Amino acid sequence: DADVTQTPRNRITKTGKRIMLECSQTKGHDRMYWYRQDPGLGLRLIYYSFDVKDINKGEISDGYSVSRQAQAKFSLSLESAIPNQTALYFCATSDPGPPHTDTQYFGPGTRLTVL
């Protein structure tokens, strides 16, 4: 079984709809991340969480919110989806090394299309 899973893997929705992307991990890591990937832009950090009570904004948090329901679960929400949020979304976790040196482990991604 995969260590980091994301659901759904693919989603098509309409402008204005609320969408939730879910991430679960069995690695036992405290740190979790949400990124979006756009062609030619690489990955950009949306939100990250260093433990259940810690939530931090990343480089591009506007239009997104997150919930850390448990150590193993980190959800990303789009309250009112818009077409420029069409992208590939990745969840990641990282091992408990010194901050910012840790290796990140990525899920398989969720492809979101907003019409």
Partner 1 sequence: AQSVTQLGSHVSVSEGALVLLRCNYSSSVPPYLFWYVQYPNQGLQLLLKYTTGATLVKGINGFEAEFKKSETSFHLTKPSAHMSDAAEYFCAVSVYDMRFGAGTRLTVKP
Is 24 an interacting residue with respect to partner 1 (CB under 8 A)?
A: no
Among 34, 64, 74, 90, binds partner 1 (CB under 8 A): 90
Distance CA 21, CA 5 (A): 11
Is 27 an interacting residue with respect to partner 1 (CB under 8 A)?
A: no
Is 84 an interacting residue with respect to partner 1 (CB under 8 A)?
A: no
84 Cα distance to chain centroid: 16
The CB-of-92 to partner 1 minimum distance in angstroms stands at 8
Q: Which is nearer to partner 1, 42 or 70 (CB)?
A: 42
Beta bridge partners of 78: 19
DSSP 37-50: EETTTEEEEEEEEE
Spatial neighbors of 104 by CB under 8 A, at least 6 apart, are 33, 92, 93, 94
Q: Which of residues 44-73 bind partner 1 (CB under 8 A)?
A: 44-45, 48, 58-59
The CB-of-10 to partner 1 minimum distance in angstroms stands at 11
Say how many CA atoms lie within 13 Å of 108 toward its Cβ.
9
- Which stretches of the chain bind partner 1, using CB under 8 A? 4, 33, 35, 40-45, 48, 58-59, 90, 92, 98, 100-101, 103-109
